[in-house]
Amino acid sequence: MPGEFEVIRRFFDRGPARDARLGVGDDCALLAPLDPHAVFAISTDLLLEGRHFFAGADPASLGHKSLAVNLSDLAAMGARPRAFTLAIGLPEIDERWLAAFCEGLFALADRHGCELVGGDTTRGPRTICITVFGEVPESAALRRDGAQPDDDLWVSGVLGAAAFAVRERNAGRALAPDDEASVRLDRPQPRVELGLALRHLARSAIDLSDGLLGDLGHIVERSRVGAEIDWPAVPVDARLQSLGDEERLRLALSGGDDYELLFSAAPENRTAIAAVGARLGLPLARVGRVVCGSAIRVRDARGRALPVEARGFDHFA
Ligand code: ADP
Ligand code: MG
């Protein structure tokens, strides 16, 4: 069985750094900003077996998703991916598992030009901790605290497919791995290009990991504003149409794992934002507006407030 250094050499060290000044193999990686006026956007996510993924999860999907959730945070900041580190806990050295994990991981990393520059490898419960480094001009960063009353609220893609897949799995109705809802859950596509295109168009942004209402709650709180969502304008995945009204509302607005972007922008940017969606081939829907106050309201087609709970996922709740 290969040891720690053999694992690093065989699976994680891909030769001399391409973008970083120094990559895997020294005490630290060295990374210089490409743009001297940019700042580094840094984000980290910890994934635990049994908590964030189930034992026996497909390793290639896990490799993809571990990085995807981090790239999604860069997207939500308008940052360009540069590099990442990987701290990994493994119960044993399973070469097939590692090869598949790396295949999923590096396919996504290479697609976004994000280079693995270091990490840590240790024996223990299966754990994956990735830290990403992106770059963004400081004044262009899409922070959560930039929303202003009268901004439009926009969302990318369609919502609810990943939550639908979770619902089916929990009910023991396993979907095929190539089922579109499974793919949305297991291999989310971080909206990196959208984040970059929104740099000078959006005033605030967040990625949807915990559900639209919960994540909107973070923008509302940080920006000290309220929000209204027009339920009929929310892009809901087609397979939710078979569900009852309440369940559809719950999965679309409070289901997690969509990894789409929610952002606010001044109404004068509507045409430019629509053009971005067309250029990227990604639907962008105007789902509501920022208002004064602190409440989030969801309205039906006739303008009546719907009873919804605007709470996202809280690990300690
Ligand atoms: P240190 O003793 O300085 O912590 P390690 O022996 O843990 O260094 O790691 C040796 C080198 O391999 C370092 O450059 C580290 O960044 C890199 N490395 C270790 N584990 C990983 C991993 N999972 N992915 C990428 N690089 C790794
Ligand atoms: Mg170490």
Each residue's pLDDT tens digit, 127-150: 999 999 999 999 999 999 999 999
Tell how many helices (H) and how many strands (E) occur in the chain. 9, 10
Residue 210: CB atoms within 10 A of its CB come to 20
φ/ψ of 273, rounded to 5, equals -70, -40
Cα distance from N-terminal residue to C-terminal residue, the chain: 41
Give residue 305's pLDDT band: very low, low, confident or very high (50, 70, 90). Answer: very high
**Structure token digits, residue 138:** 């400081």
For residues 151 and 265, is the Cβ–Cβ distance under 8 A? Answer: yes
Give residue 317's pLDDT band: very low, low, confident or very high (50, 70, 90). Answer: low
pLDDT score recorded for residue 312: 55
Tokens 């250094």 -> residue: 5
pLDDT score recorded for residue 266: 98
- Helix (H/G/I), strand (E/B), else coil: 137: strand
- For residue 88, give the ligand nearest its CA: 1
Write out pLDDT tens, residues 230-267.
999 999 999 999 999 999 999 999 998 999 999 999 99
What are the DSSP E strand ranges found in the chain?
Answer: 38-48, 80-90, 115-123, 127-137, 152-156, 204-207, 226-230, 261-265, 284-291, 296-299
316 pLDDT exceeds 70? no
Q: Considering only CA atoms, which of 295, 291, 292 is closest in space to residue 308?
A: 295
**Structure token digits, residue 155:** 């969302």
**Structure token digits, residue 241:** 């149409």
pLDDT score recorded for residue 308: 82
Residue nearest to atom 14 of ligand 1 (CA): 25
For 56-94, b/e burial (b = at least 16 CB within 10 A) is eebbbbbbbbbbbbbbbbbbbbbbbbbbbbbbbbbeebe
Residue 4: CB atoms within 10 A of its CB come to 13
Write out pLDDT tens, residues 260-289.
999 999 999 999 999 999 999 999 999 999
Provide the β-strand partners of residue 222: none
Task: List all residues whose CB is within 6 A of at least one atom of ligand 1.
Answer: 8, 12, 24-27, 86, 88, 116, 118-121
227 pLDDT exceeds 80? yes
The rounded percent of the chain whose pLDDT value lies above 70 is: 97
- Domains with residue ranges and CATH for the chain: 4-140 (3.30.1330.10), 152-299 (3.90.650.10)
pLDDT score recorded for residue 175: 87
Output Rg (C-alpha) for the chain, integer angstroms. 20
Mean pLDDT of the chain: 95
Residue nearest to atom 1 of ligand 1 (CA): 27
pLDDT score recorded for residue 2: 78
pTM to 2 decimals? 0.95
pLDDT score recorded for residue 315: 61
- For residue 98, give the ligand nearest its CA: 1
Write out pLDDT tens, residues 36-65.
999 999 999 999 999 999 888 999 999 999
Write out pLDDT tens, residues 172-189.
988 888 889 999 999 999
pLDDT score recorded for residue 313: 57
Write out pLDDT tens, residues 79-119.
999 999 999 999 999 999 999 999 999 999 999 999 999 99
Ligand 1 geometric centre to CA of 63 (Å): 18
